[in-house]
Amino acid sequence: MGTGQPDDNNIDLFFQTSMRFNHCFGCGADNPEGLGIRSSWDPSDSAASICEFTPAAHHSAYPPDVVNGGVIAAVIDCHAICTAMADGYRRADRDIGDDGEPILYATGSLQISYKAPSRLSGDLTVRATIAEAADRRTELELTVVDSSGAVTAEAQVTAVKVPGAWASPAGIFSGD
């Protein structure tokens, strides 16, 4: 039976580990130059997921000890979309990345409110909560906390289901 989450014997399995042909800058295991975020279900809340991201020096904003806002937006975006996909697999009673038709989502909208600068040192923890899930759309609410424990950003993301063909290694414009 698929659960869309790691089994008890492999708790270190992240959503992104099983996503086939994922070249995304933020979450793609197939993109060695990307951010390499990793997301998993929050064991204390089945409607939430957690992502810990350790920024590097080249992720800085103008002040060298602050994370660039665009990097934070990319982490929020990818964590939300990966959570929507994992939930899609879970609702379909399938394992992420199984041999069936891929369950994929893309960003329909992304709204971020930056509350404070995010420290570059230490991890950023991003928590996504599924506010509403329907057949073609998932609404998520996210919070970013930096290594000091401060809430540095809050976001709302609408994830929209897209065709499984988007997982093609050739891309969606290969016929152009």
Order across the sheet with 137-145: list the strands.
39-42, 45-53, 124-133, 137-145, 151-162, 104-114
- pLDDT, tens digit (0-9, with 9 covering 90-100), for 81-122: 999 999 999 999 999 989 999 999 999 999 999 999 999 999
The dihedral over CA atoms of 172, 170, 80, 134, expressed in degrees to the nearest 10, equals 50
Per residue, what are the HEC states of 33-46? CCCCCCEEEECCEE
- pLDDT, tens digit (0-9, with 9 covering 90-100), for 123-152: 999 999 999 999 999 999 999 999 999 999
9 lies in a domain?
Answer: no
In this model, does residue 5 exceed pLDDT 50? Answer: no
120 lies in a domain?
Answer: yes
In this model, does residue 9 exceed pLDDT 50? Answer: no
HSE (CB half, 13 Å, CA atoms) of 91? 16
Q: Check residue 3 and give its pLDDT.
A: 33
pTM, whole model, 2 decimals?
A: 0.91
8 lies in a domain?
Answer: no
Q: Check residue 77 and give its pLDDT.
A: 98
175 lies in a domain?
Answer: no
Q: What is the CATH number of the domain that holds 91?
A: 3.10.129.10
1 lies in a domain?
Answer: no
173 lies in a domain?
Answer: no
37 lies in a domain?
Answer: yes
| Alpha-carbon separation of residue 83 from 30, 78, 88, 109, 170 (angstroms) | 18, 8, 8, 15, 24
Q: Which domain holds residue 69?
A: 15-57+64-167
Distance of CA 45 to the CA centre of its chain: 17
Tokens for 176, please give them: 């152009």
For the chain, percent of residues with pLDDT exceeding 90: 77
Q: Check residue 11 and give its pLDDT.
A: 39
- pLDDT, tens digit (0-9, with 9 covering 90-100), for 21-31: 888 999 988 89
